[in-house]
Amino acid sequence: MVEVTVTPQSSLADRPVQIRVRGLSPSQLVTLRAWLKDEQGECFQSRAFFRADGAGEVDPGLHAALGGSYTGVWPMGLLWFLQPDTLFRRLVKRDVAGSPFRVRLEVFDGLCLGVEPREQLLGSCEAERWYVGPGVQRVPIREGRVRGALFLPP
């Protein structure tokens, strides 16, 4: 049974997480895909191809991506290289205090290049990426022509 984990499962967006896949065959070629939908419903995704180690595990912090959205060892590469399905869109979080981005991580057997790979799904999990920590207060600022927000720690 293939298991995909993100540790910690819920974290602030600027904090690193560890992504691991266990339960693969030694030297198995897999595709790791990360995707999310923004507040307007636009899909952003990244993918990287990996070869499992001798224990049947993949860790993007230790193993180099062989191709896809990036190559080489990038522990946070799947989150850093998210790209929109529609050209000229940007990943922007408007409701920073109310809800997190929910990032879905999936592992597929072999190389999956399609936008919506479904037939070879081996495992998946979900991670939450928050933009405001617990207890932080958001205070809107309106002074003359100045508009903004002040974030106060608990």
Mean pLDDT of the chain: 93
DSSP string computed for 54-89: TTS-B-TTTSPB-EES--B--TTHHHHT-EESSTT-
| 71 contact partners, CB below 8 Å, separation of at least 6 | 64, 65
Residue 12 falls in which region: left (phi positive, over 0), alpha (psi -120 to 50) or beta? beta
Asked if 14 and 100 count as a contact pair (C-beta separation under 8 A), the reply is: no
Domain ranges within the chain, ordered by starting residue: 3-152
The answer, yes or no, to whether residue 46 has pLDDT greater than 80, is yes
pLDDT tens for residues 89-135? Answer: 999 998 888 899 999 999 999 988 875 655 689 999 999 999 999 99
Q: Does 64 score more than 80 pLDDT? A: yes
pTM of the model: 0.87
pLDDT at 92: 92
pLDDT category, 150, cuts 50, 70, 90? very high
pLDDT at residue number 38: 95
82 HSE (CA, 13 A, CB side):
21
Q: C-alpha angle 64/68/74, rounded to 5°?
A: 35
What whole-number percentage of the chain has pLDDT above 90?
A: 88
Q: Tell the CATH superfamily of the 3-152 domain.
A: Acyl-CoA thioester hydrolase/BAAT N-terminal domain (2.60.40.2240)
